[in-house]
Amino acid sequence: MSDNAPLKAHRLVALALCWAFGVVGGSVGLNGLIKGNQAKARIRKSVPAGVTVNIDTNNIYHAGVVLTTLCTLISVLASVFFVATLLSGRRPLATRTLPLQAGILAFCALWLLPTQIAYTVFFANDTSGVTAFLGSLQLPPSIIQAAQEAEGVTPVYRKLYYLRLVAVLPWFTWLFTVIAAGVLFAAARRRQPPAVSVGSAGASEDRDEVQSISETEKGAKKADAV
C-alpha cells in the first residue's frame, strides 16, 4: 500500500469491526435501559392502590447510560473515519489526520474500560433495592417479593438476560476499538512526509539568482558613478 494511504485495507477492516461492535454495544445497552424501565413499571402497577414502590437501580443504571452513550459514540466515529478512508485520494485529509483519529478512538477505549468494569461488577454482585410504603408505613419485603414473582421479575441483576448482554457484548466493542486505534497509530507512523515541489524549489532558486545579479549590477553602477 502506498505511503499516501498507509495500511488502508487494514484500517478499513479494523474500523468496520469497530463500527459493528459499537452498534451492537449501543443497541444492547439501550435495550437494557428500556427493559429495566419496563420491569419497574410492571412492579409499580402490580401493587395495590395507595402503595408507593421505590426501586433503586442507580448504580447499574448510570453505568449503563454512560456505556450506551460511549458505544454509540464509537460507532459514529468509526463510521466517519471509515467513509473518510474509503473515499480518500492522494494526500487525503483522512491520512493527514491519522494521529487525531487514533487518539480519539484511544480516548474512547480508555473511557469505556472503567465503565464496562464497573457495570460488570454491579451486574455480578448487586441487586436492586426495592422498598414499598403504605402512607408512612413501610411494608415487609415479603409483599414486594410476592409482587415481583407474580410479574416474573427479580431484583438480582445477574439473573436478567438483558443485563447479561450488556455485561458481555460491549467488551468486544472495547477490544475492537483498541485494535482500530492501534492500526491507526501504526498507519500514522507510516505516513509519507509532504514532498517539496521541485518546480517551486527551482523557481525559488531562480528568483534568488536574479536578485543577486540585480544587486551586483546596482553596485557596479554606483562604483562607476563615483
Read off the pLDDT of residues 102-111 as tens digits, 9 standing for 90 and up: 999 999 999 9
Checking if the pLDDT of 122 tops 90, the result is yes
Kindly list the domain boundaries of the chain, sorted by start residue: 8-195, 197-226
Read off the pLDDT of residues 131-170 as tens digits, 9 standing for 90 and up: 888 878 888 877 777 777 777 778 889 999 999 999 999 9
Checking if the pLDDT of 84 tops 80, the result is yes
Report d(CA 107, CA 17) in Å as an integer: 18
Torsion region of 138: left, alpha or beta (phi above 0 gives left; psi -120 to 50 gives alpha): beta
Q: By three-state DSSP, how is residue 197 classified?
A: coil
Q: What residue has cell string 439473573?
A: 159
Q: What would the grid cell of residue 220 be?
A: 557596479
Judge contact between 158 and 164, C-beta under 8 A: yes
- pTM score: 0.78
What pLDDT is attached to residue 218? Answer: 55
